[in-house]
Structure 1
Amino acid sequence: MSVGTLCNRTTVVARRGNSVVETAKIMRENHVGSVIVVDDADGAPTPVGIVTDRDLVLEVMAAELDPDTVTIGDLVARELVTARETDSLWDTLQRMRTHGTRRMPVVDHQGHLVGILSVEDMLELLAVELNELARVSAREQALEEKMRPAVR
């Protein structure tokens, strides 16, 4: 299964120039704890970072910076790790683990944003698959019991 089949294609974005207050309002309106920071390249959003509500609290509020003057671009410091929509889930999970990230923007072959994949998305898929595996095992056991000769 590829990342593109599992990722959430509804993403919430902010531009580098957005203030922290603007971004906090975007998060509140969309009931999310993070936004993908994008630049518009070739007329399409290209991810450059992720900012979380935790980033806003620790990097701005706790540092007593003026949230009206700090831009989201100021908070995007490290290189963003992305997944291509054609990447395998297993390889992407390994990359998420290696980089210590819980959310990964998903891009197309041109690097434009197409979705986001979270650890929770993968856990949900794994739970469904494990449930199916348990059902197969239970059915096999029931069939074996039915086929077993009666002991007298």
Structure 2
Amino acid sequence: MAIGEYCCREIVAITPSESVLVAARLMREHHVGDLVLVEPTDNQGFLPVGIITDRDIVLDLIANTEGDLSRIAVGDLQRRELLTVHEQEDVFAVIAKMRQAGVRRLPVVDDRGLLAGIIAADDLVGVLAEGLQDLARLTTYQGQQESSLRPE
């Protein structure tokens, strides 16, 4: 199961030079908890260079600073090297990467390394839950089939 089948292709992105205030407003406007930081490329694509979450804003800035959020760039919040996954990577490999890195969201890139989507832990829980439901139905269906084939 390739992660590209399950990632969200509607990404809300921002350049690293934009302010935290602009980022917070974008999150509110689009009802998202994260923004992918991108740099435009020459071929109409976007290269992911970071990610900022609502949690980053609250815990790193609002709780620890009294600075003007309109003067702080979102790129300044980037605390770690960005981890991305390729859209052909297996779902379980992506889950392992998320767990190992301790992150809940990962940008998904295409063969050129350009932003193709984003995958969140919540999305993966839904995918796994559907798989478990299918297994449960199979068990029930198999029992019904066996019962119908037995003579009474």
Question: What TM-score range do you get, normalising by the shorter chain?
Answer: over 0.9
In the alignment, structure 1 residue 57 sits paired with structure 2 residue 52 = no
Counterpart residue type for residue 53 of structure 1: D
* Pairing partner for 2:135 from 133, 140, 145: 133
Q: Within 5 Å, which residues of 2 pair with 1:90-129?
A: 90-129=92-131
Q: Distance in 1 between matches of 2:78 and 2:51?
A: 7
When normalised by structure 1's length, the TM-score is 0.93
Shift of 1:115: 0.2
Task: Give the letter aligned to residue 147 of structure 1.
Answer: L
Structure 1 stretches lacking a partner, 5+ long: none
* Structure 2 counterpart of 1:6: 6
Q: Is the 8 A contact 1:60 1:66 kept in 2?
A: no
- Where in structure 2 are the equivalents of 1:23-42 lying within 5 Å? 23-42=23-42
Q: Secondary structure at the match of 1:137?
A: helix
- Structure 2's unaligned 5+ residue stretches are none
1-structure distance, mates of 2:85, 2:56: 22
Q: Root-mean-square deviation (CA), in Å?
A: 1.2
The alignment's TM-score, normalised by the length of structure 2, stands at: 0.93
SS class of match (2:14) = strand
Deviation track 1:22-68 (CA, whole Å, cap 9, x = no partner) reads: 11111111011111111123342111111111111111111222201
Letter of the 1:38 partner, please give it: V
Aligned identity (percent) is: 40
**2:28 maps to amino acid:** R
Which one has the largest radius of gyration? 1
Deviation at 1:145? Answer: 2.2
